[in-house]
Homo-oligomer: A and B are copies of this chain.
């Protein structure tokens, strides 16, 4: 696990490979694949994250765009309010503190998390990505404000209050007209 963490810290998420990590740890790549199943799952384990956020989002996204923002808000708050929350907070603090892990976290969010959100939407690819990254901005902000900095009154607000406040915003980012009417210039369209 420390070999995996060191590898992600050095190479980021994209360029790290199960094969390289296995070589570094002196074990068979098949063993790692057997235990973790994928680089995504290995990263989640290396970050000591107690849940796999990609799997959660994929499950939510499978329900389609209708009310997806509300479902994401509800699930996000219930997972972070659970005992798993402190592990997630530590994983996020670690990712923000070290340059190497910041890069790995960026690539993981960009290539594993955002596509899982975008998959639920019906829009041009570039617009889906803008919408998904806006959702990420509010969720990451909620995580930092409520669970890491613990800023009141948001930190102690009942889950329902938080979900009722954040849900409509996420839904707006996903399917609202505000983002849809934005002119998507070349600056915002990223290569696939």
A179, B156: Cβ atoms under 8 Å? Answer: no
Number of A positions contacting B (CB below 8 A): 53
DSSP majority for the A interface? helix
Q: A93 contacts which chain B residues (CB < 8 A)?
A: 96-97
> Which of A15-23, A31-39, A54-62, A128-136 touches B?
A128-136
A91 within 8 A of B: no
Q: A148 contacts which chain B residues (CB < 8 A)?
A: 96, 102
A146 within 8 A of B: yes
Beyond A106-B150, A164-B182, whether A157 also contacts B97 by CB under 8 A is no
A164, B178: Cβ atoms under 8 Å? Answer: yes
A142 within 8 A of B: yes
B165, A173: Cβ atoms under 8 Å? Answer: yes
Q: A96 contacts which chain B residues (CB < 8 A)?
A: 93, 96-97, 144, 148-149
Beyond A172-B169, A178-B165, whether A145 also contacts B151 by CB under 8 A is no
- How many identical chains are in the complex? 2
A169 nearest CB across to chain B (Å): 5
B190, A152: Cβ atoms under 8 Å? Answer: yes
Task: A144 to B142: give the CA distance in the assembly, Å.
Answer: 11
A111 nearest CB across to chain B (Å): 10
| 6 CB-based A-B contacts, threshold 8 Å | A93-B96, A134-B154, A141-B142, A164-B182, A165-B178, A165-B182
